[in-house]
Structure 1
Amino acid sequence: MKPFFPYSRRRFLATGAAALGVAPMAYLRAQSGSPNEEISIGLIGCGGMGTGNIKTFLNIEGVRVVAVSDVDKKAMSKVKKIVDEFYGNKDCKIYQNYTDLLQHPELDTICLATPDHWHARIGIDAANAGLDIYGEKPFTWGLKEGRQLIDVLKKNETVWQTGSWQRSKSNFRRFKALIENGTLGKITRMECGTPEGSNIRKYPNLAKPPATFDWDMYCGPAGKLEYNSQVHPWNWRWLHTFGGGQLLDWVGHHVDIAMWTLGLDKTGPVKVEGLGERGDSKIFDAYDKYAYQGTFEDGRVLEVRSDFMGTKFTGENGWIHTSRGALKASDREMLRNLPDDYESKVPSHQQDFINCVRDRKVPQSDAEGAHRAASFGQLAIVAMESGQPVNWDPKAEKVIGNDEQANYPRLGSRIDVCKG
């Protein structure tokens, strides 16, 4: 039987560190116990990705799911049932307000899987509570709030793993290794394909939210909005108030792979330009079709389109194209050109996060890389909405020479609108 403490060992150590004026995680490392110590995790956001992630964490040895939170009590109850059935008890706690979950005494980490507009606020609150975070992509809804979140993660020495899980899959890792090994020779073109369309689901028209659903809390950083029964639980992603459509959903996948491969995931483009087409929905405003590109400081251009899927690089020796479950080349022999130190097996994305929580190393998909991928998509949306290229300073993270673009909400921050 585990001894009783009012807080988990990690939380207790972090609290003691704060009292001494020491960085919490540095203190924790100095006082760390067994690497096999159980890691407890809570889920914030009980939708599709949250449910899928928590099922994975349930099956990782040394991890225990202790609590779940959602503004929708029905969704929250479904995930609690999954957790309780897995453990054969009824111990999983539920909290409709995420700030209550962050105070759960046994908690070490959270899985953050809310709609995009809540990522920054909850991420900041969780880091300040001494918790490590597995956070879904895109990193944040707005660009400035992404940098604010990174600053807080650094201050607290928080381990952050973004749900850009393709970085932990063999075909994407092989693609990166092949490119880095000079397989294509001089690279002449870099293309990314992410999905088109809006998979809008039809829900019953309701005049007010169900008693089990806290609409005002759901809106949170987006401000007070009139209830629309078509938004929750799926369609929020097609509304720019809450999400960014397929463009922003997938920039953290195939575009992320391209920037990671090219060594550009610590910077951003100096110019972004593009065009997008919206569908005929009277409610939703995400771009259904789009084509944009970013030019980087060294002159390289990364193209993104919605008419194919995956990441494709072309060079003087041919081309290599990777997508989910696929790795192809103009000449299959090129796929053998792996470096001698290539690691054929790595942990799953969620296991990598847990390993890094234990050893305090940097996960496969760190916060800076996730922010830079998201910012590429955020800048593209501004270019489409303004009808003009965005000239960008990736170091200062500021628009150059266009005050109107600089004041677009997508490049700003809404984390102080609602603090939970």
Structure 2
Amino acid sequence: MRESLVSRQERFAMRSNVREFSRRAFLSRSTALLALPSVIPGLVSASPAERLVVGHVGIGGRGGSLLGMTRGNSRIEVGALCDVDKAHLDRARKAAGGEPQTASDYRKLLDNKSLDGIVLAAPDHWHATITIAACRAGKHVYCEKPLSHNIVEGREAVKAARRYDRMVQVGIHHRSSEYVRHIVRLVRGGSIGRVHAVKSWMWTNKVEKKTPPPGKIPASLDYDFWLGPAPEAVYHPSRVHYNFRWCSDYAGGYMTDWGVHMFNVITFAMGIDHKGPESVEAQGTWDKNNIYDFPVSMKARWEFKDPDFTLSWDQPGKGGDVLPGELYGITFYGEDGELRTGFGTGKCRFYRDGKEAPLPREPASVDVPESPGHMQNWADSIRRRELPIADVEIGHRTTSLCLLGNIALSVGRKLRWDCHSERFFGDPQADALLGRESRERYRI
């Protein structure tokens, strides 16, 4: 088997790290979900020695899109495909071409010495578990957002990336977009004056759905592996695959599905990627007959210091008109006007005294990191041994913002947060929601 991109010297260092964990100890601490194997024929342009060889873990909806990105990148070679649903595997194998080895247990991915890294798009409740295990095994990771199901696991993922010197990119990919850099330059450069408040909003709502009857587990799906660290639960077709997002056992609702993207743009623009809020509070409304346990509507508010500003989340469960035709967006409230941007479209508008005005010019002196694209940035970071643009610490801080909002919603009161210890001030009930008890077989 040919040597992959990672140098022999680095492989020696990785083996030294991994020797700390016997195979038995590793398997007892981290059991699995998906898997990997074989090699798809190499792509053109880059020579084999220059390509980053990756395995995909989770190749359903978003995972399928990420597979398209790696397949279309001449500097990346797909060496494996892995999913707990055979239907996903079969579809991805056809899309990838060739005869890639496939499996449903991600631990086999970690044993594949030809792989430099993994591209992870399993359900959210698996993200930290697989990221930690991959770092221990010497693999770099592209982890789809959010980084983790809870704050404790997110911090452990950061520790693993640092301990094993792995490049972990979190899939808050708008950070690599030019329209986001444009927003960052305007805000950081003072084009709208000092920002005292930021509001993120979304009008769409897929959470409102009545409870259907339980279904039969598809023959193609290993449902126990799909559940993984989450509690045992009766199979419901409305709770798996895409719809896992609206169930607190597996994800964080719209807050971690879309809020994480918008909040990262905000922390990027405000220069607080490595900080946290002073306080958080939230409220919401629920449909009692809903199979999902996240609210139909939700409002949340965070207070920050240095710089001093408030961040708010507005999810009314129905349409709005901040920007016509835009379902998601951000408004920066500055001393000299409001900057409104539709999320993902790049549409920006400026308002002064309630009336639309020409966009301010970008200041020439603001230095904002460039990125050729999120996946390419991750690949480049591995080659150059430089942190990627959405490094694991940044991803953890942004994910934590979302999770703090959900915790405040759960306890129903304003909470004071210590971003250094990552604990609440004087609130053991809220502290108890920072982590979870994983099923023993899948514990890390």
TM beyond 0.5: yes
Contact residue 255 and residue 403 of structure 2 kept, 8 A: no
Give CA deviations for 1:31-79 in whole Å, capped at 9, x if unaligned: xxx9971111111111211110110111111211111111111111111
Amino acid paired to 2:348: L
1:320 is matched with which residue: 335, 339, 342? 339
Give the gaps of 5 or more residues in structure 2: 21-46, 321-327
Deviation at 1:203, TM superposition (A): 11
1:239 is aligned to 247
| 129 and 231 in structure 1: CA distance in 2 versus 1, 3 angstrom threshold | same
| 305 and 349 in structure 1: CA distance in 2 versus 1, 3 angstrom threshold | same
1:400 is aligned to 425
Deviation at 1:236, TM superposition (A): 1.0
2:197 is aligned to 189
| 334 and 74 in structure 1: CA distance in 2 versus 1, 3 angstrom threshold | same
Q: Does 1:16 align with 2:12?
A: yes
Which moves more between the two structures, 143-152 or 332-341? 332-341
Contact residue 56 and residue 120 of structure 2 kept, 8 A: yes
Contact residue 272 and residue 380 of structure 1 kept, 8 A: yes
Amino acid paired to 1:228: H
Contact residue 196 and residue 246 of structure 1 kept, 8 A: no
Give the gaps of 5 or more residues in structure 1: 25-33
CA distance in 1, matches of 2:60, 2:207: 16
CA distance in 2, matches of 1:35, 1:333: 50
Amino acid paired to 2:291: I
2:383 is aligned to 358
1:289 is aligned to 297
Tell me how many residue pairs correspond in the alignment.
Answer: 400
Contact residue 200 and residue 235 of structure 1 kept, 8 A: no
Which moves more between the two structures, 135-144 or 313-322? 313-322
Q: Within 5 Å, which residues of 2 pair with 1:7-406?
A: 8=4, 10=6, 13-18=9-14, 37-84=50-97, 89-90=98-99, 92-198=100-206, 207-298=215-306, 299-307=308-316, 309-323=328-342, 324-325=344-345, 326-330=347-351, 333-340=358-365, 346-406=371-431
- Calculate the TM-score normalised by the size of structure 1: 0.88
Contact residue 38 and residue 64 of structure 1 kept, 8 A: yes
1:31 is aligned to none
CA distance in 2, matches of 1:42, 1:203: 36
CA distance in 1, matches of 2:151, 2:54: 28
- Calculate the TM-score normalised by the size of structure 2: 0.83
| 398 and 383 in structure 1: CA distance in 2 versus 1, 3 angstrom threshold | same
Which moves more between the two structures, 195-204 or 246-255? 195-204
Contact residue 211 and residue 289 of structure 2 kept, 8 A: no
Which moves more between the two structures, 214-223 or 281-290? 281-290
CA distance in 1, matches of 2:411, 2:80: 43
CA distance in 1, matches of 2:438, 2:156: 9
SS at 1:190 equivalent: strand
| RMSD of Structure 2 on Structure 1 (CA) | 2.7
Give CA deviations for 1:134-158 in whole Å, capped at 9, x if unaligned: 1111110011110011000000111
